[in-house]
Structure 1
Amino acid sequence: MTQSGRSEENKNLSQEKVQVPEIVTKLKVLEQLQIDEYRLTFKSIVNDGRCPEKVTCVWPGEANVMLEIFDGTDTTSKTIAIPALGFHRELFSTSEHVVYLKNLTPYPITAKDNIKAYQLLLKIQPKKS
């Protein structure tokens, strides 16, 4: 390879867009998270109907979780269905942040899995000015 060939190769590499990693916050069952004037509590797993990785299913399924959101005045309980592949759903917005629900981990591997250490994956993003 010539010197000019290397320069051309390096030039192409530097033009690729860098993917910024997404930072997520993990919240365990019965844990609370204070976000500005709000408090989010992961109350429980209502059910986990996601199709395990080692099982063939006609539908990927979903898991239902119970959340409690306290806004400083009132408490709201929500049951939210999380698709098997996750999503990017806005839960609530504070004066300074937007809170998104991304997914539920861990994902079941077999039909006999008895998962005890569930965690919600949240993205807490600053509001744009």
Structure 2
Amino acid sequence: MKKLLLLSILFISLSTMAQNEKVETPKIAVKMEIGQTISLQGVSLTFIDVIEDSRCPKYTNCIWAGRAVVLVEVEVNGKKEQKKIYLGETRNNEPTSKTLYSKDGYFIEVVALNPYPEDGKEKAPYTLLVCESI
């Protein structure tokens, strides 16, 4: 009986300790279509265009993985700035950051450009996924 009680206490204490781990809050992405403007925490974002999409289609072998380059207009306090975001491979001197806006630990970043190319499929209209982090 003492062994059973000791094992029960040990099991409860170990399971309680495992619950102290911090879990990262999942990021929620906002979908934007070309020409669409959204506002996040006073920052207006407009998905202007896809400048380049040379990403290697799914299920194919390519020498270069390719990339997509998108143009987004960021407006804060009446000041507008257009930013190019490179998704995938970058060349020398091209930025690798996907951050559209950052201030005091608050970030707005590009997550993905959809749809991802597929051989033999008609391409759907582009959508850009952005998310905010605190």
Q: Which amino acid in structure 2 is aligned with residue 103 of structure 1?
A: A
Shift of 1:67: 0.7
1:58 pairs with one of 58, 63, 71: 63
Shift of 1:114: 4.1
Deviation by residue 1:47-95 (Cα, 9 ceiling, x = unmatched): 21100012210121101111111112221112221117xx873221256
1:29/1:119 contact within 8 Å kept:
yes
Q: What TM-score do the two structures reach when normalised by structure 1?
A: 0.71
Cα distance in structure 2, aligned partners of 1:19 and 1:94: 21
State the match for 1:90 in structure 2: 99
Larger radius of gyration: 2
In structure 2, relative to structure 1, the CA distance for the partners of 1:124 and 1:17 (3 Å cut) is closer
Q: Which amino acid in structure 1 is aligned with residue 33 of structure 2?
A: K
Unaligned runs of 5+ in 1: none
Unaligned runs of 5+ in 2: 1-6, 90-95
SS of match in other structure, 1:123: strand
Deviation by residue 1:85-115 (Cα, 9 ceiling, x = unmatched): xx8732212568310111111111x344442
1:124 pairs with one of 118, 121, 132: 132
Q: What TM-score do the two structures reach when normalised by structure 2?
A: 0.68
State the match for 2:73 in structure 1: 68
2:44 pairs with one of 21, 28, 39: 39
1:102/1:121 contact within 8 Å kept:
yes
1:35/1:94 contact within 8 Å kept:
no
2:85/2:98 contact within 8 Å kept:
no
Shift of 1:30: 1.0
Kindly tell me the number of residue pairs found equivalent between the two proteins: 122
Q: Does 1:100 align with 2:109?
A: yes
1:101/1:120 contact within 8 Å kept:
yes
